[in-house]
Structure 1
Amino acid sequence: MPSTSLLVLSALTALVGVAVYLPMQRTTTLLEGPSVVENFGMERCKRVSGPAYCDDVRIQRNLNLGFLACDPSLPHRNFAASVFDEAKMTEDGALWVYDLNKPGSPAEKLTIKGFEGPFHPSGISFAPTSEDGTPARVVVLVVNHVPLEVPRVEVLYYYPARKSLVYKKTISSEHFFAANKIAASASPMVHQHDDTPSFHVVNDHGYNLTDWKREYEEKYNLPAASLVYYNARADIAQEVGWRFQMPTGVASSHEPDSLWIAQAKGGTVDLYKSHILSAEHQEQKVLSADTRERLTIAWPGMMNEEIMHTKAVNVGVDYEPEFKTLVTVSHPKWNDYVQVAKEKLQDREAVPSKKAGFVVSKGNLYPVRVGETRPKPRKDAVFDPEETPRKYRYQLFVEPVISNDGSEFGSPSAIAVSGQRVLVSSHYEQGFLDCDISP
């Protein structure tokens, strides 16, 4: 008869096996996607020509201008998909601007005055501004992902009257090792002389592409990525969030120091908010980089406030506080997208054997019972969260509004929202989409 210790060991081995197998199986199912991708809602969209191979799109809402980070070399350096060939990197990228106030107008390519060096833009963000109407100057943050180097953040000034970009400075940190998307913070920690805001960046992987550990992270879809916060007055960056599963979208939420993060291989969209958990460990006395004065700064204590299990590979997320609009763009079939990336790496102009479609989803609030996750209430129940908040609550669900199998547009990289309009950029398409998501 087996000994008690042997039985216990066998039981523990079985539990560990199940604990490892189930998450891997869920991720495998997620990346394979549905057998058929539905086509609906494309009549809401128009394709805007001009920019191609774009990694990010953001909207500066004071101006209602869309900015796109595009790069002809993107098919040869898809870091999120771990597809890369430095020998084919022969062209620099650029930022493009699109005026949402003038429907049908083309996007315009911008040059950067005073900037020297390679430019391969990924994420974009803007310093928050309280100016009414048209700000005279917008501070633009761009993740510059130079091959085989640690990415850095370029600080640029955009002057709307002249439609010009001017280089201000470069921010570097060892913590930006796999930086992808960026979100400026509304924190008062703003550089006093050049208006550079504090910001968050997501590392889409836990290891740089040149690190041998990256292969195992990809093979087993390990949750190894991180969130980094940069304090503009201290000129210091630190990791403040860990164990993310390929986060490729980040956007500021409705509260200060709160973020929506899209975890592509996790199949979730998560809301994180900063809390002071321990002043002893979060506060630090530094000499400010701008005024050279003694300063006490507080590092964010990011805690998960909400998890939405979208069961989709979300690669882009955006949130508009004025209308409380949350939008996502996802790959219905991630594995097909990776196949497209591999084939495009060999020949950028080739027609791939697979189609990489996209799905745009919009957040909607529904009343649900506390402890339940039903998207709609039962017909025989009266749900009133405002009167009985202990029993009922409003919960956010993302629901598809536009879907395409890739026959008309595919390979999404990011999404931006302004009012009832969204812009969708693509890694491998010519142009981008301008879509109406109104009810």
Structure 2
Amino acid sequence: MKVIVLGSGIVGTASAWFLRKAGHEVTVLERQPGVALETSFANGCQISVSHAEPWANPHTLLKVLKWLGREDAPLLFRLQPDLLQWKWCLHFLRECMPGRVDDNIRQIVAIAEYSRQTLHAVRVETGLDYDCLTRGILHFYTDQREFDKSLAAAALMRELGCPRNPVSTDEILALEPALAGMRDQIVGGDFTSTDESGDVYKFTVGLAAKAAEAGVQFRFNTTVTRLLSEGSGAGMQITGVEVIDANGRHRTLQADAFVVALGSFSAPLLKPLGIELMIYPGKGYSATYRIINAQAAPTVSLTDDSHKLVLSRLGDRLRVAGTCELNGYTRELNPARCDAITRRVRALFPGACDYDNPTYWAGLRPLTPSNVPYIGKTKFANLFLNTGHGTLGWTMGCGSGRAIADIVGGRQPELDFAFTGMPRRGSAQMGHGSCKSRSAMKH
């Protein structure tokens, strides 16, 4: 088949890679001059199956009330005259119910673990270099109540096969000696040895180059304006996609199938077709620092719970990302939030980095209320979704790309996950909530 993929972040590029491996003729449309120049450009760089607890949980509601009015709060909410934002918030409240939280964790762990295994296979196959570190992810807490609350989610993840194991303060410092200055503040943590980190931008650029060598066509500086459709009922089809090409001309491109991987911009594109996605942009920040004292900088990827920050060593750089701002589609930097990141990192690792010359960045994470992405079919027979991965686009990217290639090709992906528009695998086939697939890595 001829397949058009809309978007070239990690999710869109991985989709194109696996679609091409399945034998399809693939074209990728991207409004930027290259791949991974938006949400995939400078995120926290963690492959974190252990970070599967969704934002929507009973504890978050109390935190949001506490953070109201703080410009540097980990979660900043600015009310907009936007019906989607209001609907999204109502859905978010529903997802905070305990029963829904557990099922969402099961789904997130399932696709994240499948994706981690898939990434390993791609790394072996392609030999890509992207500053990968396979030293696990260490999650530390400075608030005893927050640590106590985390234990139930960690236990559920261990039940699902994700080895998120509690560790004491002494064990934390043994794993990451650079945290020694925080000894008196750390109350506990957990460590997931199978998690890892790496530069998502470098990986996506490298994978796109391999995909292009294999025959995938990338059309950059090409803005998608709308999808054209025809038919009714079960016979509805997408007939083409209207674009403004690199020369400023309006064109219509045809294909047999279309995959939407536009992150936060998927919802407005699909709304005219009667497809209402609960995806709202959550502006996330990152700061990248040049390391000037290698011994004082962390070598294990970290999650700082109290400040909702993740930290990853990328060669001679330290990437720190986190916080979330629900404020529409603007990517404007808020100086108060940038300064808060640098203050925290300087306090954690004084003298480790050049804190006077950080590189700040913001990207729009495509958040669903549940943190579970849309991967699967739509009411249009040839229109598919691979979007809404929120803060876990890098973690879920390769697995999502592989799964959507299966779905486009008429195959059921090999894991238990609530794929959009498709029946969910039963427990007799996979085991409810299992994050493991016996044949997941077969090519």
TM normalised by structure 2 equals 0.28
Judging by fraction of residues, say which structure has more helix: 2
Higher relative contact order (CA 8 A, sep 6+): 2
Bigger Rg, structure 1 or 2: 1
TM normalised by structure 1 equals 0.28
